[in-house]
Amino acid sequence: MDASIIIGLIILGIVAGYLSGLVGIGGGIVMVPVLVLLFGFTQHKAQGTTLALLLFPVGILGVLNYHKTGNVDLKTTLILCVGFVLGSYLGSKTAINISQEMLRKVFAILLIAVAAKMFFQK
- 34-62 residue pLDDT tens: 999 999 999 999 988 888 887 777 788 88
Radius of gyration of the chain (CA): 16
Where do the structural domains in the chain lie, given as residue ranges? 3-120
| Number of CB atoms found within 10 A of residue 47's CB | 23
pLDDT digits (tens, 9 = 90+) for 99-120: 999 999 999 999 999 899 989 9
pTM of the model: 0.75
